[in-house]
Amino acid sequence: MQIFGTSDTGVVRKVNQDSFFTRVMSKSVTVGVVCDGMGGTNGGCEASAIAIREFATSLCDAITILSAVDGVLEITDAKMRRTMVQGVNKANTAVYEKSKTFAELEGMGTTLVAFVLSGDKLYCINVGDSRLYTVSQDSVCQITKDHSYVQYLVDTGAITPEEALTHPRKNIITRAVGTHEDVDPDFFVLEGDQIGTYVLICSDGLTNFVSDEEIQRVLMNTADIEQACNTLVGMANANGGGDNITVVILSTK
Boundaries of every domain in the chain: 2-251
pLDDT of 216 reads: 97
Listed in sequence order, the residues at least 6 apart from 106 whose beta carbon sits closer than 8 Å to its beta carbon are 39, 43, 99, 100
Check: CB of residue 202 under 8 Å from CB of residue 34: yes
Provide the 3-class DSSP secondary structure of residue 157. coil
The answer to whether the CB of 53 falls within 8 A of the CB of 9 is: no
Based on the number of CB atoms within 10 Å of its own CB, is 168 exposed (0-12), middle (13-18) or buried (19 or more)?
exposed
Class at the top of the CATH hierarchy for domain 2-251: alpha beta
CB atoms within 10 A of CB 155: 11
Question: Residue 90 has what pLDDT?
Answer: 98
Return the beta strands (E) in 40-179 as ranges.
109-110, 112-118, 121-127, 131-135, 140-142
Entry pTM: 0.94
For the chain, 253 residues long, give each residue's pLDDT as a single digit of tens: 899 999 999 999 999 999 999 999 988 899 999 999 997 767 999 999 999 999 999 999 999 888 766 666 778 899 999 999 999 999 999 999 999 998 888 889 999 999 999 988 999 999 999 999 999 999 999 999 999 888 888 888 888 887 787 787 877 889 999 999 999 999 999 998 899 899 999 999 999 999 999 999 999 999 899 999 999 999 999 999 999 999 999 999 7
Cα–Cα distance measured from residue 123 to residue 77, given in angstroms and rounded to the nearest whole number? 8
Compute the distance between CA of residue 21 and CA of residue 193 in angstroms, rounded to an integer: 25
